[in-house]
Amino acid sequence: MADKINRVVLAFSGGLDTSVILKWLQRTYGCEVVTFTADLGQGEELGPARHKAELMGVKPEHIFIDDLREEFVRDYVFPMMRANALYEGLYLLGTSIARPLIAKRQVEIARQVGADAVSHGATGKGNDQVRFELGYYALAPDIKVIAPWREWDLTSRTALIDFAEKNQIPVPKDKRGESPFSTDANLLHTSSEGKVLEDPWAEVPDYVYSRTDDLVQAPDTPEEITIDFKSGDGVAVNGEALSPAALLTRLNELGKRHGIGRLDLVENRFVGMKSRGMYETPGGTIYHAAHRAIEQLTLDRGASHLKDELMPRYAELVYNGFWFSPEREMLQAAVDHSQAKVDGTVRMKLYKGGVHITGRKSPHSLYSEKVVTFEDDAGAYDQRDAEGFIKLNALRLRLLGRRDRS
């Protein structure tokens, strides 16, 4: 197990678990630990992470704390949204999409500091270990990967806390008892799973929700907003130009207020089991609906249907951790090719958990009132063409009918 490691870059949140891992890596591998803490909009202070790392002997120049929020939304969330990706028809992939960016930055730091290994705090039953490690291996094929949860013997909460105490790692009071569920958060979403959520018939308790207000308590009046798109990406809310991260932040505020984006899901993990999770994706849910609406006006049918057919595959690849794979990149190339004219404005009402599209317009609209109108169209469309269209579409069915139904 314990190959000789000199220096390892750890994805370090500053919480109890990754603090224990930090210490365990130092002990087990006798190696230097470099910490990397990313601000992906999870809404936690990052200062304490630096302090803790220092306390455990990490050299100041080996403590990396990066604000990756803009990169996260611009290069990961938005490209995925261009594909209208939904895993298993419903899940907006909030956790999945953050992992490749963390892996990529860890590998960059490993190169910068001359580390020969990377490590993460994901458990051995989940998808995140796969996503992290496929990212590491794709970007740095010969790097060593240390996954403490699959290696160590700290298999119970008690053992973990014992280890912490023996090693002078402060254990916050609220971590002493069993947490009733586990969460992951970033600018796109908060996920909750485990413990009280493990019975898929039991309703999610109110106290689990953290990113969205209760629907019944939400405002009794719908709020109308607009999102502007340019080349398939959101650029403004209510007419105000915003950077990608600022735009998603704004939509998160709006979504939170109206209780938007709650999802109670039983999903299929890549590692082969079903799990039950609760996701809150307030801004992402609004954005997804709006992006579909602007595509309705600006995408040709052929492009649109091809996108719909490719989407489940795309979503599966992201979910399974294959962001840095040729096939995801190929699908992205196809999707991106379609987005050049996906420009315009979508108007919608937010109300009690719902996003209700009320209008869309575009300088590049393919909708032609002149062609579609119930009124006289002045020759824009010749209804007699429909006869030939139907006749030739029917020809094979008629030949078949003569054979099989006569």
For the segment 10-69, give every residue that binds a second copy (CB under 8 A): none
- Residue 15 CB neighbour total at 10 angstroms: 16
Find out whether 245 is annotated in a ligand binding site. no
Check whether 283 is labelled as a binding-site residue. Answer: no
Coil, helix or strand at residue 249: helix
Coil, strand or helix at 281: coil
Determine whether the annotation assigns residue 12 to a binding site.
Answer: yes
On whether 96 is known to bind a ligand per the annotation, the reply is: yes
Instruction: Let me know if 385 is a catalytic residue.
Output: no
Q: Indicate which single residue of 47, 57, 114, 359 sits in contact with a second copy (rule: CB under 8 A).
A: 359
- Is 223 within 8 Å of 351 (Cβ atoms)? yes
Q: Name the nearest CA neighbour of 281 among 151, 369, 192, 379.
A: 192
Minimum separation from the CB atom of position 66 to a second copy (A): 21
Q: Which stretch binds a second copy (CB under 8 A): 46-54, 55-63, 239-247, 319-327?
A: 319-327
Pairing of strands 240-241, 233-237: antiparallel
Q: Which of residues 135-154 bind a second copy (CB under 8 A)?
A: 137-142, 147, 149-150
Site for a second copy in 67-86 (CB under 8 A): 84
DSSP 124-175: SSSSHHHHHHHHHHHHSTT-EEE-HHHH-S--SHHHHHHHHHHTT----HHH
Tell me if residue 99 is catalytic: yes
Q: Give the three-class secondary structure for 245.
A: helix
Of 344, 345, 348, 362, the C-alpha closest to 225 is 348
Record the tokens describing residue 347, joined without a space: 């108007």
Binding flag, residue 334, a second copy (CB under 8 A): yes
Question: If you search the block for the tokens 């938005």, which residue do you land on?
Answer: 78
Q: According to the binding rule CB under 8 A, does residue 392 interact with a second copy?
A: yes
Structure tokens given for 228: 């502007």
What is the rounded CA–CA span in Å between residue 136 and residue 145? 8
Active-site entry in 50, 69, 82, 99: 99
Residue 15 DSSP one-character state: S
- Rounded Cα–Cα distance for residues 180 and 162 (Å): 20
The residues in 273-312 that bind a second copy, with binding defined as CB under 8 A, are 273-276, 292-293, 296-297, 299-309, 311-312
Is there binding between residue 327 and a second copy (CB under 8 A)? yes
Counting contacts by CB under 8 A, is residue 241 touching a second copy? Answer: no
For the record, the structure tokens of 298 come out as 């600006």
For a second copy, the closer of residues 173 and 301 by Cβ is: 301
Q: Which of 71, 187, 351, 379 binds a second copy (CB under 8 A)?
A: 351
- The size of the chain, in residues, is 406
Size of the site for a second copy (CB under 8 A): 132
Dist CA 340 CA 309 (whole Å)? 20
Which of 207, 217, 337, 378 is in the footprint of a second copy by CB under 8 A?
337
* Known catalytic membership, residue 343: no
Give the 3-state secondary structure of 51-86. Answer: HHHHHCCCCHHHEEEEECHHHHHHHHHHHHHHCCCC
Catalytic residue (one of 17, 39, 184, 228)? 17
Active site residue 365: no
Q: Is 194 annotated as a binding residue?
A: no
Comparing CB distances to a second copy, the nearer of 166 and 402 is 402
84, burial (CB in 10 Å: exposed 0-12, middle 13-18, buried 19+)? buried
Nearer to a second copy, 187 or 289 (CB): 289
Q: Given 182, 304, 325, 365, which residue is catalytic?
A: 182
Q: Which of residues 148-207 bind a second copy (CB under 8 A)?
A: 149-150, 155-156, 182, 194-195, 198-204
Q: Taking contact as CB under 8 A, which single stretch among the options 41-49, 50-58, 73-81, 377-385 is the one that binds a second copy?
A: 377-385
Q: Which residues are annotated as a binding site for ATP?
A: 11-19, 38, 121
Q: Which residues are annotated as a binding site?
A: 11-19, 38, 91, 96, 121, 123, 127-128, 131, 182, 191, 267, 279
Which residues are annotated as catalytic?
Answer: 17, 99, 128, 182
Q: Which residues are annotated as a binding site for L-citrulline?
A: 91, 96, 127, 131, 182, 191, 267, 279
